[in-house]
């Protein structure tokens, strides 16, 4: 992520109504302002615009050190004489320009006091959106904790040396451990969502075990019924074979005598004819059964009366809705009344109360069918009687044949026994067949839905379907369980990665920072050594000067930013704090080399040993702006120093000089110190 | 800006220790890199996570 500040505009706020724009090729932008000119307000506004945080107290909490000197509300950001103010921050984020506009009003309260608007070329609604909308990839680096790493008051750098959440978060963000934490969060969220979707949240493992046990019962039962079915089928085959063998013997016995053979042939013929006649009778019976006009004469009479009544009522023709369609198209009604738009609307509204095409069609079909069968007489009882006669005939034929067969073995005990055995075997085969039919029946939907107890089931297909259904349920739960296990494994990997990497990264940063400290703070006695940076910067010395602390903080932040390859500007108010002049030069020589944009608010007293070395090291790639409140001393200073109009902006109560000349010669302390 | 080298190296080492296959290792690395760059929508994030977790289950 690369962030560059292009400039800002402020109006009606507790800082001058300035418009600043920075040249992209400049490495350092100096803004020279005396105390009381609105530096802190500007720093606050920059942080609100960069983070989208509208709670000013949150920002001031992070900005201040030990002293409570920043207690201010959003209303305090507005000029005493104004009712509202605006602040526009122009930025370039990863190549695209984004403007964050703050609208602050004394007429609004709480979080509504500050309204934010984002303008960017790729946004909907003509490039403008209410709210704070930086690109997604930048959000993680525009958190308040992180922004306060690179936008801060140099005098308040001590927080990195005390164990607090802010120091830890800053160090984690600089080391990119926040990405690792985020990755775990997303994985947890994904697994929870999948669990909710499959209804397999907490307790899924217990449910899975129960389902697996249940499936085992059904699969065991399935094996049993398949085996039972095989046994039944085998019994049928064996018994059929035995029956066939005995019947073969009958045939041989019958064929031995012509008289017996003739009887057999006649019997076969009679049975065949009787069966065919019975089937024809059954077909006729069914045909009449499904036709109410043929079922019974009383029903037929009533249906004919129904048809006559429909005709008398002129149904369905006269109440068909299409009649209203046709009527609505006429110029005059059948009563002669002219049909205008109002009448037409009324006619069409009436249409819905009459019969539509579908109902009319059904009524017409009923009428036609009744008419077509008006002359048909019912043959239902005759058909039934014919079937019963043929059934009786079949029984007679069977009895006659049984007697014939029995007569064959009247004097043969073995034949008699075999004959009885065939009867018994046929009965048994029938019973086996009933069972096989149950085993091989199509699956029962109710048994599947209710998952009938496995012991009560015989149908192979039903049991198999239940097994499949249970497997499906187990698979769904099992998928979530496996996902949970994989998610735990992922978290372990990330935690261990962080632990392992943190040792190296911390060591790398410590080493890099230590090298710079050794160069810049070489005069420190005893030498300043960093012990670790686990949750804060731990030094070998409990007491160091504020100047040494500031130098160490700068060196730490810049080394860490370099380490994480982030390109962000470094925006610092009072960059020198209490550092002595020698160290100012040393810091000044380092800062522009490690950041591509260094924006700093300085006072004239900080200028000489800080700004000039930076000018040298950047080979003049700097911008200079001096901002001041207008008074007689300032006007005199402008005249005395021949500040050209081109470089000067003068407003009602403040002024601004652009360029190095004005910057270099500005020597007025703030009014309270003159 | 992708993740720094130290995290990549640590991730590779831990994944190997945990017998995570090369394919899944790459998927985890890509996922973390994209997360650090940002701009992944929910659907893409979910798909990448799903692939990683499935890869871890299958030992890929």
Provide the pairing of β-strand A84-93 with A3-11: antiparallel
Contact A501 B9 (CB under 8 A): yes
Q: Which of A62-76, A360-374, A424-438 has the lowest mean pLDDT?
A: A62-76
Q: Say if B19 is an interface residue toward chain A (CB within 8 Å).
A: no
Among A186, A198, A568, which would you mutate to test the B interface (most chain B Cβ atoms within 10 Å of its Cβ)? A186
Contact B1 A183 (CB under 8 A): no
Q: Mean pLDDT, to the nearest integer, of A59-70? A: 58
Contact A617, A592 (CB under 8 A): yes
Contact B7 A487 (CB under 8 A): no
CB-nearest partner of B36 from A135, A176, A487: A176
| A295 or B24, higher pLDDT | B24
Q: Say if B60 is an interface residue toward chain A (CB within 8 Å).
A: no
Contact A176 B54 (CB under 8 A): no
The predicted pLDDT at position A68 comes to: 45
Contact A663, A625 (CB under 8 A): yes
SS3 at position A94? coil
What span, in angstroms and rounded, lies between the C-alpha atoms of A161 and A146? 16
Among A190, A194, A482, A495, which would you mutate to test the B interface (most chain B Cβ atoms within 10 Å of its Cβ)? A190
My answer on whether omega of the bond before A526 falls inside 30° of 0, hence cis, is yes
Q: Looking at CA atoms only, how far is residue A519 from chain B in angstroms?
A: 26
Q: Which residues in B lie closer than 8 A to residue A179 (C-beta atoms)?
A: 3, 7, 32, 35-36
Tokens of A43: 């720093």
Q: Which of A67-76, A367-376, A528-537, A576-585 has the lowest mean pLDDT?
A: A67-76
Q: Mean pLDDT, to the nearest integer, of A191-206? A: 72
Q: Which of A20-29, A41-50, A327-336, B26-35 has the lowest mean pLDDT?
A: A327-336
The predicted pLDDT at position A10 comes to: 94
CB-nearest partner of B14 from A182, A193, A497: A497
Contact A364, A320 (CB under 8 A): no
Backbone angles phi, psi at A628, to 5 degrees: -150, 155
Could you tell me how many helices (H) and strands (E) chain A has, helices first? 24, 15
Contact B53 A483 (CB under 8 A): yes
Cβ partners under 8 Å of residue A250, min gap 6: A405, A408
Q: Mean pLDDT, to the nearest integer, of A77-85? A: 91
The predicted pLDDT at position A565 comes to: 66
Q: Encode pLDDT of A94-119 as tens digits.
A: 889 999 999 999 999 888 899 999 99
- Chain-centroid distance of CA A530 in Å reads 46
CB-nearest partner of A486 from B4, B35, B57: B57
Structure confidence at residue A657 as a pLDDT band (50, 70, 90)? very high
Phi-psi region of A488 (alpha: psi -120 to 50; beta: other; left: phi over 0): alpha
Task: Kindly report the length of chain A.
Answer: 674
Q: Looking at CA atoms only, how far is residue A197 from chain B in angstroms?
A: 14
Contact A176 B4 (CB under 8 A): yes
What span, in angstroms and rounded, lies between the C-alpha atoms of A354 and B16? 79
What span, in angstroms and rounded, lies between the C-alpha atoms of A576 and A545? 13
Q: Encode pLDDT of A121-145 as tens digits.
A: 776 655 667 888 888 778 767 877 7
Contact A154, A600 (CB under 8 A): no
Burial class of residue A253, CB neighbours in 10 A (0-12, 13-18, 19+): middle
CB-nearest partner of A563 from B4, B38, B52: B4
How confident is the prediction for chain A on average, in pLDDT? 85
Report CA-CA distances (Å) from A164 to A23, A47, A143, A312, A534: 37, 20, 17, 97, 11
pTM, entire model: 0.55
* Helices of type H across A256-317: 258-289, 292-295, 297-312
Contact A565 B4 (CB under 8 A): yes
Contact B35 A500 (CB under 8 A): no
- Chain-centroid distance of CA A462 in Å reads 37
Q: Is the pLDDT of residue A67 over 50?
A: no
Closest residue in chain B to residue A134, using alpha carbons only: B39
Q: What is the largest CA-CA distance in chain B?
A: 31
The predicted pLDDT at position A98 comes to: 94
* HSE-CB of A295 using CA atoms within 13 angstroms: 13
Contact A179 B36 (CB under 8 A): yes
Backbone angles phi, psi at A262, to 5 degrees: -60, -40
Q: Which residues in B lie closer than 8 A to residue A563 (C-beta atoms)?
A: 4
What span, in angstroms and rounded, lies between the C-alpha atoms of B34 and B39? 8
Contact A31, A11 (CB under 8 A): no
Contact A609, A584 (CB under 8 A): yes
Structure confidence at residue A440 as a pLDDT band (50, 70, 90)? very high
The predicted pLDDT at position A408 comes to: 76
Dihedral over alpha carbons A216, A222, A228, A232 (to 10 degrees): 180
Report CA-CA distances (Å) from A12 to A18, A87, A459: 10, 9, 86
Tokens of A606: 């900080």
Q: Is the pLDDT of residue A498 over 50?
A: yes
Burial class of residue A152, CB neighbours in 10 A (0-12, 13-18, 19+): buried
Q: Which residues in B lie closer than 8 A to residue A505 (C-beta atoms)?
A: 4, 6-7
Q: Looking at CA atoms only, how far is residue A167 from chain B in angstroms?
A: 20
Backbone angles phi, psi at A184, to 5 degrees: -70, -40
Backbone angles phi, psi at A7, to 5 degrees: 155, 180
Structure confidence at residue A66 as a pLDDT band (50, 70, 90)? very low
SS3 at position A579? coil
Phi-psi region of A52 (alpha: psi -120 to 50; beta: other; left: phi over 0): left
Q: Encode pLDDT of A640-655 as tens digits.
A: 988 888 899 988 888 9
Tokens of A149: 């790493």
Contact B32 A179 (CB under 8 A): yes
H-helix or E-strand spanning residue A626:
strand A622-629
Structure confidence at residue B6 as a pLDDT band (50, 70, 90)? confident
The predicted pLDDT at position A63 comes to: 63
Contact B6 A501 (CB under 8 A): yes
Report CA-CA distances (Å) from A54 to A41, A47, A665: 14, 10, 38
Report CA-CA distances (Å) from A489 to A177, A637, B13, B15: 18, 70, 15, 10
Burial class of residue A559, CB neighbours in 10 A (0-12, 13-18, 19+): buried
Contact A136 B38 (CB under 8 A): yes
Backbone angles phi, psi at A66, to 5 degrees: -80, -35
Bridge partners (DSSP) of residue A118 are A100, A129
SS3 at position A91? strand
What span, in angstroms and rounded, lies between the C-alpha atoms of A108 and A459? 75
Provide the pairing of β-strand A151-153 with A570-573: parallel
What span, in angstroms and rounded, lies between the C-alpha atoms of A646 and A635? 16
SS3 at position A165? helix
Q: Which of A12-21, A186-195, A376-385 has the lowest mean pLDDT?
A: A376-385
The predicted pLDDT at position A621 comes to: 92
Cβ partners under 8 Å of residue A36, min gap 6: A629, A670, A671, A672
Contact A246, A426 (CB under 8 A): no
Closest residue in chain B to residue A478, using alpha carbons only: B57
DSSP-assigned letters across all residues of A178-213: HHHHHHHHHHHHHHHHHHHHTT--TTHHHHHHHHHH
What span, in angstroms and rounded, lies between the C-alpha atoms of A505 and B4? 9
Q: Say if B3 is an interface residue toward chain A (CB within 8 Å).
A: yes
Q: Say if B25 is an interface residue toward chain A (CB within 8 Å).
A: no
Burial class of residue A372, CB neighbours in 10 A (0-12, 13-18, 19+): exposed
Considering just the CA atoms, what is the radius of gyration of chain B in Å? 12
Q: Encode pLDDT of A611-650 as tens digits.
A: 888 998 888 999 999 999 888 888 999 989 888 888 999 8
Q: Is the pLDDT of residue A493 over 50?
A: yes
Closest residue in chain A to residue B15, using alpha carbons only: A493
Of chain B residues 38-57, which have a CB less than 8 A from chain A?
A: 38-40, 45-46, 49-50, 52-54, 56-57
SS3 at position A625? strand
Q: Say if B58 is an interface residue toward chain A (CB within 8 Å).
A: no
Q: Mean pLDDT, to the nearest integer, of A205-227? A: 91
Q: Is the pLDDT of residue A487 over 90?
A: yes
Q: Encode pLDDT of A258-284 as tens digits.
A: 988 899 899 999 999 999 999 999 998
What span, in angstroms and rounded, lies between the C-alpha atoms of A162 and A351? 85
Q: Is the pLDDT of residue A593 over 90?
A: no
What span, in angstroms and rounded, lies between the C-alpha atoms of A461 and A467? 10
Structure confidence at residue A201 as a pLDDT band (50, 70, 90)? low
Q: Encode pLDDT of A343-399 as tens digits.
A: 888 888 888 788 877 888 888 899 899 988 888 887 888 889 989 999 999 999 999
């Amino acid at each position: 992520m690369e962030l560059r500040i292009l400039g800002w505009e402020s109006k009606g706020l507790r800082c001058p109504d300035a418009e600043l724009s920075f040249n992209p090729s400049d490495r350092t932008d100096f803004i020279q302002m005396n105390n009381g000119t609105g530096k802190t307000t500007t720093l606050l506004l920059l942080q609100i615009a960069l983070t989208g945080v509208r709670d000013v107290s949150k920002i001031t909490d992070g900005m201040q050190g030990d002293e409570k000197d920043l207690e201010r509300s959003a209303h305090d950001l507005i000029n005493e004489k104004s009712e509202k103010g605006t602040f526009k921050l122009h930025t370039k984020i990863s190549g695209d320009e984004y403007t964050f506009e703050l609208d602050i009003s004394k007429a609004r309260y709480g979080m509504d006091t500050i309204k934010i608007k984002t303008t960017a070329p790729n946004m909907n609604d003509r490039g403008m959106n209410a709210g704070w909308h930086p690109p997604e990839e930048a959000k993680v680096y525009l958190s308040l904790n992180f922004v306060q790493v690179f936008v801060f008051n140099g005098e308040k750098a001590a927080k990195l040396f005390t164990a607090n959440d802010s120091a830890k978060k800053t160090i984690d963000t600089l080391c990119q451990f926040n990405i690792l934490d985020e990755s775990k969060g997303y994985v947890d969220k994904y697994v929870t969502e999948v669990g909710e979707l499959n209804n397999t949240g907490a307790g899924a493992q217990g449910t899975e075990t129960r389902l697996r046990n249940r499936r085992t019962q059904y699969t065991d039962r399935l094996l049993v019924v398949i085996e039972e079915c095989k046994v039944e089928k085998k019994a049928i085959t064996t018994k059929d074979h035995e029956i066939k063998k005995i019947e073969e013997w009958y045939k041989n016995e019958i064929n031995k005598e012509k008289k017996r053979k003739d009887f057999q042939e006649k019997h076969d013929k009679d049975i065949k004819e009787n069966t065919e006649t019975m089937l024809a009778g059954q077909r006729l019976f069914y045909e009449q059964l499904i036709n109410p006009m043929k079922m019974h004469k009383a029903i037929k009479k009533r249906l004919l009366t129904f048809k006559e009544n429909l005709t008398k009522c002129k149904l369905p023709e006269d109440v068909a809705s299409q009649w209203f369609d046709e009527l609505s198209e006429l110029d005059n009604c059948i009563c002669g009344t002219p049909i205008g738009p109002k009448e037409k609307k009324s006619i069409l509204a009436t249409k819905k109360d009459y019969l539509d095409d579908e109902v009319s069609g059904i009524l017409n079909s009923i009428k036609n069918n009744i008419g077509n069968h008006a002359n048909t007489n019912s043959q239902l009882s005759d058909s039934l009687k014919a079937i019963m006669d043929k059934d009786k005939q079949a029984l007679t034929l069977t009895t006659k044949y049984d007697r014939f067969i029995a007569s064959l073995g009247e004097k043969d005990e073995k034949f008699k026994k075999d004959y009885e055995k065939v009867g018994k075997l046929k009965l048994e085969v029938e019973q086996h067949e009933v069972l096989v039919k149950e085993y091989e029946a199509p699956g029962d939907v109710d048994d599947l839905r209710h998952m009938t107890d496995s012991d009560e089931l015989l149908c192979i297909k039903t049991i198999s379907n239940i097994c499949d259904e249970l497997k499906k349920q187990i698979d769904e739960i099992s998928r979530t369980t496996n996902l949970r296990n994989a998610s735990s494994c992922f978290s372990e990997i990330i935690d261990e990665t962080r632990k392992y990497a943190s040792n190296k990264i911390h060591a790398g940063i410590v080493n890099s920072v230590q090298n710079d400290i050794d160069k810049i703070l070489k005069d420190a006695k005893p030498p300043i050594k960093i012990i670790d940076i686990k949750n804060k910067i731990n030094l070998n010395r409990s007491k160091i000067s504020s100047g040494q602390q500031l130098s160490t903080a700068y060196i730490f932040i810049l080394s860490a930013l370099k380490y994480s390859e982030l390109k962000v500007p470094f925006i610092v108010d009072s960059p020198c704090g209490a550092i002595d002049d020698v160290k100012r030069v040393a810091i000044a020589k380092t800062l522009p080399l490690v950041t591509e944009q260094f924006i700093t608010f300085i006072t004239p007293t900080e200028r000489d040993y800080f700004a000039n070395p930076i000018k040298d090291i950047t080979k003049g790639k700097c911008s200079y702006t001096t901002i001041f409140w207008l008074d007689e001393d300032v006007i005199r200073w402008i005249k005395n120093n021949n500040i050209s109009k081109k470089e000067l902006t003068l407003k009602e109560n403040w002024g601004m000089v652009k360029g190095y000349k004005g910057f270099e010669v500005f020597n007025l302390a703030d009014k309270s110190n003159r | 800006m992708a993740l720094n080298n130290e995290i990549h190296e640590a991730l590779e080492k831990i994944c190997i220790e945990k017998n995570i296959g090369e394919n899944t290792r790459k998927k985890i690395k890509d996922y973390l890199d994209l997360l650090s760059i940002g701009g992944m929508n929910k659907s893409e994030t979910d798909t990448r996570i799903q692939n990683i977790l499935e890869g871890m289950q299958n030992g890929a």
